[in-house]
Structure 1
Amino acid sequence: MSKRTSSAVVNGSVAKDGGSNAAAPTQDKQKLLLSADTGHFSLIRAMHLADLITLCNGACGTLSVFTSLAYCLGDPNDLHTLYRALLFLPFGLFFDFLDGKVARWRKKSSLMGQELDSLADLISFGVAPAAAAFALGMRTPLDQLLLTFFVLCGLARLARFNVTVAVLPRDASGKSAYFEGTPIPTTLALDGIMAYWIHNGTVLETLPLGIAFEGSPLAFHPVVLMFVLHGCLMTSRSIRIPKP
């Protein structure tokens, strides 16, 4: 999901509101700064306020990954570390919503912002939840393969969104009328389930449903199939969720 791209990708909504002429110089200036051969901090100067907020989303996801790694390297009874790993992700969602609000308020959008938004979402709602699941105990080789499938589904879903958002049907305000597949931030539902397991202390060897085919190369935790299912829902084209 990308609030910025759905509302203003390549000035999509701005053009429909009659403000494309004002937004075009902004994009031209950003392209000039990004393509300049010289100039100190040209990348920073090219960023809009919404872009910096998007980076905060990515920072939340990155800190979540680091916290999951810290749990794997530390005391397995320190469940508060796992809580912290999951706690960063709702903040990532907050920044994901905020950058779109700011972009529409300032009437500034860009292709760079579109790409930043998707990359930040992949970290916060794809890689970070998979890292948390690994930290919780889904660590067999097959678990890792299935979690990788989940992350790749998120990656493919975001790439498809960036490609198709300009041609999806739009409402009167210029926003895309629906999402194709479940938006990637809906992964927070899985984070909520994992938080519940942490609350009950059912982690590592006590994960719900145990382990299937234990002792064989096909050993895996059945709960990892939640991530597989969610990945399939994200990449579905038959699922169309109306935007609020």
Structure 2
Amino acid sequence: MSKRRSSVSATNGAASRETSQVSPPTIDKQKLLLSSDAGHFSLVRALHLADLITELNGLCGILSLFSSMRYCLGDPSEHGNLWAALCFLPLGLFFDFLDGKVARWRKKSSMMGQELDSLADLISFGVSPAALAFALGLRTAADHLCLAFFVLCGLTRLARFNVTASHIPKDASGKARYFEGTPIPTTLALDALMAWWLSNGWTHGDLPGGVWMAGTVLEVHPVVLLFVVHGCLMTSRTIHIPKP
């Protein structure tokens, strides 16, 4: 994902973000606040404006999760909560883009921001889509394993980014030249697909492709393999997608 937190100069040995050059004094100041200020609201005071916007990305993912759970507890024929779960995810993407814009505008980035970015993305574009797929009807044991694989791929991709971002070639402005593997927000393509299923009333037993090996321990909905493929694309090291 196009991160606002991309690179710290090699001479400082600090961690990097994917979209903006980070100045050492900014990082040192926030580190000092986080480690030495013991006040009740010290953590809030240490956050930059861009960090607070990142929190809104995470909030959208959490609300999507709750909406999926509310659907599972209610009438399966009432799809209002499913639509709400779907709508929160592109809103999370909006905040994911906005935090980078704000970080570059204010010229404030940090290691804290990089970690917040990854954690919020995991909730909004990893866990929440998997929960939504479960709510739609991918509920067999094999479905669970495939969805768990998808989430773990997203987790691994984000962790790899945090470790390797400083080694990806940069352009003159300090931005990484390409994404290594598909960015995790591309899971919105799966969300759009699920929205199409829902608009046609294809939930539970009506999901496209039906069920394979029904009645056995290997019972699975073949459409769940789309999540497996997407997880593999996210963790690929051979796919290099040029950044806009």
Q: How does 1:121-160 map to 2 (within 5 A)?
A: 121-160=121-160
| 8 Å Cα contact 1:58-1:124 kept in structure 2 | yes
- Structure 1 segments, 4+ long, off by >3 Å, are 6-15
**Which residue is 1:76 aligned to?**
76
Shift of 1:38: 2.1
- Please tell me the root mean square deviation across aligned C-alpha atoms, in Å: 1.5
User: 2:29 corresponds to which letter in structure 1?
Assistant: K
**Which residue is 1:196 aligned to?**
196
Instruction: Indicate the percent of aligned positions where both proteins have the same amino acid.
Output: 69
**Which residue is 1:90 aligned to?**
90
| 8 Å Cα contact 1:157-1:234 kept in structure 2 | yes
| 8 Å Cα contact 2:7-2:16 kept in structure 1 | no
Query: How many corresponding residue pairs?
Result: 238
Q: How does 1:92-111 map to 2 (within 5 A)?
A: 92-111=92-111
Shift of 1:10: 3.6
| 8 Å Cα contact 2:50-2:103 kept in structure 1 | yes
In the TM superposition, what whole-angstrom CA distance separates every residue of 1:210-232 from its partner, at most 9, and x where no partner exists?
A: 01000000001000000000000
User: 1:165 corresponds to which letter in structure 2?
Assistant: A
Shift of 1:24: 2.5
TM-score by length of 2: 0.94
| 8 Å Cα contact 1:54-1:95 kept in structure 2 | yes
**Corresponding residue SS for 1:27:** helix
In the TM superposition, what whole-angstrom CA distance separates every residue of 1:8-43 from its partner, at most 9, and x where no partner exists?
A: 76478765xxxx6xx332222211111126222110
**Which residue is 1:170 aligned to?**
170
Shift of 1:2: 4.3
Q: How does 1:211-226 map to 2 (within 5 A)?
A: 211-226=211-226
**Corresponding residue SS for 2:175:** coil
Q: Distance in 1 between matches of 2:233 and 2:16?
A: 27
**Corresponding residue SS for 2:6:** helix
**Which residue is 1:232 aligned to?**
232
TM-score by length of 1: 0.94
Q: Distance in 2 between matches of 1:89 and 1:57?
A: 9
In the TM superposition, what whole-angstrom CA distance separates every residue of 1:170-226 from its partner, at most 9, and x where no partner exists?
A: 112110000010000000000000000000001011100001000000001000000
**Corresponding residue SS for 2:241:** strand
Q: Distance in 2 between matches of 1:24 and 1:182?
A: 30
CA distance 1:25–1:62, shift in 2 (3 Å): same
Q: Which runs of 5+ in 1 are unaligned?
A: none
Q: Distance in 1 between matches of 2:207 and 2:193?
A: 12
| 8 Å Cα contact 1:65-1:85 kept in structure 2 | yes
Q: Distance in 2 between matches of 1:116 and 1:137?
A: 31
Q: Which runs of 5+ in 2 are unaligned?
A: 9-14
